[in-house]
Structure 1
Amino acid sequence: MTRRLRKGDRVSWKTYGNTAVGTVKNKITKRTRAGGRTVDASPEEPQYEVESEKSGKTAVHKPGSLKKKGRSS
């Protein structure tokens, strides 16, 4: 089961063989444009807009691809 994610949570995800770290900016629950693409989300299958700590760019991910991280020191 995927942990519940909220705005402001620090998360990591796999990208091109590396691990990226960032912050959840929005929970998306309807079809919309975000992260440079059209996102087919719904309340039953939400997606999350995240901002990379390294690049500052945003991307959208399904909850199964995000891993909640502990608080930063």
Structure 2
Amino acid sequence: MSRKFAIGDHVRWNSEAGRVSGTIIAIHTSDFDYKGYRHRASEDDPQYEIKSDKTDHIAAHKGSALDPA
């Protein structure tokens, strides 16, 4: 089961550059297109948009990829 987070929560995740942290800015509960890819999301398994603390980068991840920061 995926963890559930809320907008404004501070989280961490692994990226190609190492461990990254940021703040959740949006929650998707249905499929959406982002950065040229179709991301699958549902009420039971949402995807989160997270703004990096160190850059303006926005990432999209499922709750299973995130840890509370």
TM-score interval for Structure 1 and Structure 2 normalised by the shorter chain: 0.7 to 0.9
Within 5 Å, which residues of 2 pair with 1:1-73?
A: 2-16=2-16, 18-34=18-34, 36=35, 37-69=37-69
SS at match of 1:64: helix
> How many equivalent pairs are there?
68
Q: Percent identity?
A: 31
Q: Is contact 1:47-1:60 (8 Å) kept? A: yes
Q: Gaps (5+ residues) in structure 2?
A: none
SS at match of 1:5: coil
Q: Is contact 1:3-1:68 (8 Å) kept? A: no
Q: Is contact 2:14-2:20 (8 Å) kept? A: yes
Distance 2:56 2:65 in 1: 19
Runs of 4+ off more than 2 Å? 1-4
TM score, norm. by length of structure 1: 0.80
Q: Assess, with a 3 A threshold, how the Cα gap between structure 1 residues 45 and 4 changes in structure 2: closer, same or farther.
A: closer
Q: Deviations over 1:10-60 (max 9, x none)?
A: 1000112510010001111001123x1321111121111101111111110
Q: Is contact 2:11-2:21 (8 Å) kept? A: yes
